[in-house]
């Protein structure tokens, strides 16, 4: 009887040590994976925000007079004539795809620049849209995903 008790106690002790080692291993692996995921996600968000700021300041989209480019005021004529390749060749990140939607909330007009896909990150930027002498409220939506 004594031998069986000793063997049973050793067996449970060994199982407990193995279970503890496996739990610690998965705890560290899980922590590492979670941290990596958060860092990648925040990097994509930063890139989307930077891209939006560059787009609303770009002479390709923004209204400009003879002296300066007006940041955050998009020109309706430029939106009508915009070729996606022209914009994407100049503005973008390697290994990322994006498309933009511009909506004029006053008139209901909207423009889609690029090919639509399911994005990973979507950011909305308030803008004004200049149409002739009239300035209306709108929004620029940047949709980004990794290739």
Classify strands 134-146 and 121-131 as parallel, antiparallel or unpaired: antiparallel
Q: Token digits for 75? A: 């020109």
What is the distance between the alpha carbons of residues 83 and 101, in angstroms, rounded to a whole number?
Answer: 13
Classify strands 110-113 and 62-64 as parallel, antiparallel or unpaired: unpaired
102-146 residue pLDDT tens: 999 989 999 999 999 999 999 999 999 998 889 999 999 999 998
Question: What would the 3-class secondary structure string for 3-31 be?
Answer: HHHHHHHHHHHHHHHHHHHHHHHHHHHHH
pTM, two decimals, is 0.72
What pLDDT sits at residue 63?
93
């Amino acid at each position: 009887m004594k031998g069986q008790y000793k063997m049973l106690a050793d067996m449970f002790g060994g199982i407990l040590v193995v279970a503890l080692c496996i739990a610690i291993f998965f705890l560290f692996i899980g922590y590492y994976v979670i941290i990596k995921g958060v860092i990648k996600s925040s990097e994509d968000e930063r890139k989307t925000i930077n891209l939006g700021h560059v787009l609303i300041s770009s002479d390709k989209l923004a209204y400009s007079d003879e002296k300066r480019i007006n940041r955050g005021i998009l020109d309706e004529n430029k939106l009508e004539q915009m070729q996606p390749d022209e914009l994407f060749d100049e503005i973008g990140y390697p290994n990322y795809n994006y498309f933009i939607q511009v909506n004029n909330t006053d008139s209901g007009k909207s423009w889609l620049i690029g090919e639509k896909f399911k994005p990973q990150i979507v950011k909305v930027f308030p803008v004004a849209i200049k149409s002739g002498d009239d300035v209306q409220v709108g929004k620029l939506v940047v949709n980004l995903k990794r290739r």
